[in-house]
Structures are given as C-alpha cells and as structure tokens.
Chains A and B, each alone.
Chain A
Amino acid sequence: NAGVTQTPKFQVLKTGQSMTLQCAQDMNHNSMYWYRQDPGMGLRLIYYSASEGTTDKGEVPNGYNVSRLNKREFSLRLESAAPSQTSVYFCASSATPTGGTEAFFGQGTRLTVV
C-alpha cells in the first residue's frame, strides 16, 4: 500500500525560484491537506481540499497556491520562494470532509530556500 506519496523528498531553491510539490493518495479519500512543520511550532495548515474541485485557505496560505487535479492528486506551488518558506512540508489525506478523522501523511518534503 502506497498510501500518500509526495515528491520530491528534498529540494533546495534560490530566493525567487518557483516549484511545485506533488502529492497523490491511493486510499480513495475525499479530503487532502498541505501542512508545514517548523521547529517548535507544530504542524500548520497551509491549504486544504474538502473534495475534488474545491480548495480553501488554512492558517498560513500566503505565498502558496494549490491545485486539486483530481480525487487522487493535490499539488502545492510556491510561485516565488522566500527563505521564510524553508520548512518540512507534509501532504495528508482523510476519509471524511469534516476534518475530525484520522489523517494519513506523506513522507514529507524538506525544502530549503537560500
């Protein structure tokens, strides 16, 4: 079982460059999420998608855009990377759209912006 798959696992960007983080899940989940994790701050929600065709802002959406390509795939784009976006990014999915059920996480992307 692949579960939630993210690519790439590591990335170094220069300030101002753009990139897209890819995420796919094979559990037939409706809801997908992008989080960032910084030391001492826990996981913070960037964007979420309750179902195919919908996306909404989370706690820290500035500087990011997302696309729910289909039920399986949810991508996160950084249009102009900044050092403050250096973080570990996790994609997650859950079965129900309520947000109150277990989330399954991808393996993470460690992004460094220099």
Chain B
Amino acid sequence: QKEVEQNSGPLSVPEGAIASLNCTYSDRGSQSFFWYRQYSGKSPELIMSIYSNGDKEDGRFTAQLNKASQYVSLLIRDSQPSDSATYLCAVHTGGFKTIFGAGTRLFVKA
C-alpha cells in the first residue's frame, strides 16, 4: 500500500461544475496536509493546507480532512479551464517526512 494514494485520473468535468479530488494516507500520526497544483511542465504551487478535521474554504477551493478515515479531499467549485492541472496531495508524517501522492490530473472542459 502506498503511503499517499490518489486516483491518477484524468478527472474530466465541465466548466462550472464541482471537481472533487480525493486522497488517502496510511500514517495515522500525520498532522499536516497540503494540496499543490502543478501545471504541465511547471513546478508545484501550494493552494491549500489543512491541519484539523473538518472543512477549510479559500475562495473556490475547499479542503476536507477526516483523520479517522485517513482521508483528505479538495473540492473546486465553479471549475474553470484554467484549473486544468495535476493536483498533488502531500502529507506531513513527522520530522522532515512529507510524502507526496502521484497526483490526479484534472481536465475542465469549456
């Protein structure tokens, strides 16, 4: 079992729809969770961080964390073609160990 798992996609949604990206992790002691967006050929950039159970909203983005289920998700409301990218889930498991998932490719159709 991978330490951080994501569906590789591609996830295809129409413009204006909600895109739902999911991530599961194996280390129950994990404390910090991050979502990075990576455009093709570019470097990852942080879009959301979440540290406690529940929802965290920032503009069109909502991160959801459920530590009991070891599950973190990212919702993108009113998806735009510019949201088309690979989304990386990253889990800080302690010390300097931050594990990245392989990423989910999102395609938003105009």
Contacts and interface: CB of A to CB of B under 8 A. Distances in A.
A42 B102 contact: yes
Interface residues on A, range: 20 to 34
A75 to B, nearest CB: 18
A35 B96 CA distance: 13
B98 A45 contact: yes
Interface in A16-71: 31, 33, 35, 40-45, 48, 50, 56, 58
Contacts of B4: 42
A106 B34 CA distance: 18
A107 B39 CA distance: 11
B44 A48 contact: no
Interface of B: 4, 8, 31-32, 34, 42-46, 49, 88, 90, 92, 94-103
Given A98-B95, A99-B97, 15 more contacts: A35-B100, A43-B88, A45-B97, A90-B44, A98-B96, A99-B92, A99-B95, A100-B31, A100-B32, A102-B49, A104-B46, A105-B44, A107-B42, A107-B43, A108-B43
9 contacts: A42-B99, A42-B102, A42-B103, A43-B88, A48-B96, A99-B92, A100-B31, A102-B49, A103-B46
